[in-house]
Structure 1
Amino acid sequence: MKSFLKTALVISAISFAPVAFAVDMTGAGATFPYPIYAKWAEAYKAKTGSNLNYQSIGSSGGIKQIKAKTVDFGATDNPVKFDDLEKDGLVQFPAIIGGVVPVINVEGVKPYELKLSPDTLSDIFQGAITNWNDRRIVLNNPGMKMPDLPITVVHRADGSGTTAIFTNYLAKVSQNWKDAVGEGAAVKWPAASSVGGKGNEGVAANVLRVKGAIGYVEYAYAKKNKMISVSLKNRDGQFVQPDDLTFAAAAASTDWSKVPGMGTFITNAPGAKSWPITGASFILVYKAPENKAKVAEVLKFFDFAFKEGKKMAEELDYVPMPDATTDFIRKNVFTQVNTK
């Protein structure tokens, strides 16, 4: 009888061990990485019992939430400047790499069939090109018949890291865009025919709804919604299609360890195979967090993602952070956070 009771107690302890030490984490911010964070969270909960509640509210919202200390970590695709990190007592590290892709709703056009140069893309979003049969689009696509169809620009209505990546790219490739519109998480969109959408989800929904629309979303949203993406001419003059290989090619030349606060854009990167609108999503945590146990769990969660989440990321066409970069993050960023 005693032997049975002892065995039962041991089985009970093993069964409930993950739950006993489980920690609920909260995060908020970028919609860009939401699909992969959701997948990582599911796997992490299955392994540890700890749950992640992530609010996909946009990068500006994520920065506001972490500064207000209402979440354990903030997420942004618009990296915070090093001086601001220092001022607020925060650290920042990139968690995942992906691509922003222009998506269209033009009947008869196949995926990646439409080719756009940087100037043409900029002129479309600036409202200088207003119809799909404009000669500049036709010049990019000799022999392709484009319809006489007005263009509607779909953009983010909220403060967005996806917008920051997209406008950072446009400002690099078009002096006119840089001077007239600029870059950032929110800009004044100049096209007369335009409509806003909240989150990557909202932009995707509006592009699918409006005939003649063009918008920009993170690649996972384009793929999930079976949207029509375009091919873009990159810095080396090659037309390329978005996928994990072209995102990885764009990120290959970035040495994150040399950037203060690790915050940098990787748009318009060199390389014949590079997707020109590639970006990273960043995590923000306090060096001296109020709830040390929860932030310790956040670091464990991303360490798990770096070690065991690579295949999951690749399945969604994100690019995992390179091992050299995650080693740098563990040794030089995680160590700045006081979780004891």
Structure 2
Amino acid sequence: MYLVLRRFAALCLFAGAMFPAAAQNTVSGAGSTFVEPVLAKWAAQWSQRNSAVIRYEGVGSGAGIDRLKAGRADFAATDAPLKDEELQAGGWRQFPIVAGGIVPVTNLRGVGRKRVRLTGPLLARIFQGKITRWNDPALQAVNGVFTLPDEPITVVRRGDSSGITYNFTAYLSKISAEWAAELGTGKTVKWPVGIAAEGNAGLGQRVIETPFSIGYVEYGYALQHEMQIVNLYATAERAISPTQTTIRNALESADWRSAAEFNLLLVGIQGTDTWPIAASTWIVMPRDAQKAQNVREALAFFDWALQRGGETADALGYTPLPPGLIGLIRDSWKR
């Protein structure tokens, strides 16, 4: 019996040497933590059906671009679009892949399902450290009969280079001249207050763990973790909630045809039914797809994601791109 098993094992080794399993090519990407959940899901679906394996690591938008520059990634994902001159210098193309919302979130004890309501300027003053208690008269005035707690506000903000921070601070710069003058827009800013957290999930978890805190995260993450989402006033009378509809309204209001490299921000778009901190994630990759197999594989993956991945994105709280924009993106690949 032992001799039979040995001969069988040898035969298997011989067969394996003669007919090796087809190797799967690995395409690597890095960047935005905002888009990491949906990219990971798409990558798993794609890799089951195709010869290439897509591996993506959410390290932050800035770090993703650094990896692409260093040749350590085949593509990068960023929530802060690159300028035309940056793309030209790198020999890269850029296009949006999905949209979503950035939402302020709180951790207030004993309020049940009630949501804090804020104006944009009040939100800016909290993150500037100029409003420091939840029951500040200015906050209480916009929250009506909802009595806010007499507790200090703990600000939680990103400590890494973040596209989510870029969009969040771009919104605050648009809505508050004081913020624009003192802090401005950036993947990192000189925060005057707050606890630093790494990544979208890291910031969200820190808010969950910290009583009477406020932070900002991706909308889908807030939904999945049942976080307290802040409503923002669009007019003096009406506060807007982030939903797929209000985020989609911002996405569809943008004039995408006006930007050949799709570098448009969605923050601060005015409308009675439009979420004011909508954002898209851009893919940045080498422009010439004919020079490298991995680049061709990545482009095929994103083509599939744009045309077939909408249902998955929607289920995770993201907003799929509209057909007209997908058409513009696919046309841009021919240039």
TM-score scaled to structure 1, two decimals? 0.89
Larger mean CA deviation between 235-244 and 72-81 belongs to: 235-244
Q: Describe the shift of the 1:86–1:252 C-alpha distance in structure 2 as closer, same or farther (beyond 3 A).
A: same
Question: Is 1:231 matched with 2:197?
Answer: no
Any residues of structure 2 matched to 1:264-303 within 5 Å, and which? Answer: 264-288=264-288, 292-303=292-303
Per the alignment, residue 74 of structure 2 pairs with 72
Per the alignment, residue 312 of structure 1 pairs with 312
Per the alignment, residue 131 of structure 2 pairs with 129
Q: Residue type matched to 1:249 in 2?
A: N
**In 1, are the aligned partners of 2:289 and 2:296 still within 8 Å (CA)?**
no
Per the alignment, residue 209 of structure 2 pairs with 209
Larger mean CA deviation between 65-74 and 322-331 belongs to: 322-331
CA distance in 1, matches of 2:87, 2:74: 16
CA distance in 2, matches of 1:236, 1:66: 45
Any residues of structure 2 matched to 1:97-246 within 5 Å, and which? Answer: 97-111=99-113, 113-191=115-193, 194-234=194-234, 238-246=238-246
Q: Which runs of 5+ in 2 are unaligned?
A: 1-18
Q: Residue type matched to 1:323 in 2?
A: P
SS of 2:108 mapped into structure 1: coil
Give 1:273 shift: 0.9
Give 1:288 shift: 3.5
Q: Describe the shift of the 1:331–1:20 C-alpha distance in structure 2 as closer, same or farther (beyond 3 A).
A: farther
SS of 2:275 mapped into structure 1: coil
Q: In angstroms, what is the RMSD of aligned CA positions?
A: 1.8
Q: Residue type matched to 1:83 in 2?
A: E
CA distance in 2, matches of 1:110, 1:51: 44
Q: After superposition, what is the alpha-carbon deviation per residue over 1:149-171, rounded to whole angstroms, capped at 9, x for unaligned?
A: 11011000100000000000000
Q: Residue type matched to 1:210 in 2?
A: T
CA distance in 2, matches of 1:237, 1:93: 37
Per the alignment, residue 25 of structure 1 pairs with 27
Give 1:249 shift: 1.0
Q: After superposition, what is the alpha-carbon deviation per residue over 1:107-138, rounded to whole angstroms, capped at 9, x for unaligned?
A: 12344621111111111111110000000110
CA distance in 2, matches of 1:118, 1:225: 24
Give 1:330 shift: 1.3
CA distance in 2, matches of 1:61, 1:74: 9
CA distance in 2, matches of 1:202, 1:140: 30
SS of 2:253 mapped into structure 1: coil
CA distance in 1, matches of 2:124, 2:86: 30
Per the alignment, residue 321 of structure 1 pairs with 321
CA distance in 2, matches of 1:63, 1:234: 34
Q: Describe the shift of the 1:28–1:112 C-alpha distance in structure 2 as closer, same or farther (beyond 3 A).
A: farther
Q: Residue type matched to 1:213 in 2?
A: S
SS of 2:261 mapped into structure 1: helix
- 1:85 is matched with which residue: 87, 93, 102? 87
**In 2, are the aligned partners of 1:235 and 1:276 still within 8 Å (CA)?**
no
Q: Residue type matched to 2:228 in 1?
A: I
CA distance in 1, matches of 2:241, 2:318: 14
Q: Describe the shift of the 1:294–1:175 C-alpha distance in structure 2 as closer, same or farther (beyond 3 A).
A: same
Question: Is 1:96 matched with 2:95?
Answer: no
CA distance in 1, matches of 2:269, 2:291: 39
Q: Describe the shift of the 1:312–1:244 C-alpha distance in structure 2 as closer, same or farther (beyond 3 A).
A: same
SS of 1:31 mapped into structure 2: coil
TM-score scaled to structure 2, two decimals? 0.90
Identity rate of aligned residues, in percent? 37
SS of 1:261 mapped into structure 2: coil
Give 1:67 shift: 1.0
Give 1:21 shift: 7.6
Q: Which runs of 5+ in 1 are unaligned?
A: 1-15
Give 1:239 shift: 0.9
SS of 1:262 mapped into structure 2: coil
CA distance in 1, matches of 2:300, 2:321: 16
Give 1:140 shift: 0.7
Greater Rg, structure 1 or structure 2? Answer: 2
Per the alignment, residue 7 of structure 1 pairs with none
CA distance in 2, matches of 1:331, 1:126: 43
Give 1:289 shift: 6.2
Per the alignment, residue 330 of structure 2 pairs with 330
**In 2, are the aligned partners of 1:159 and 1:186 still within 8 Å (CA)?**
yes
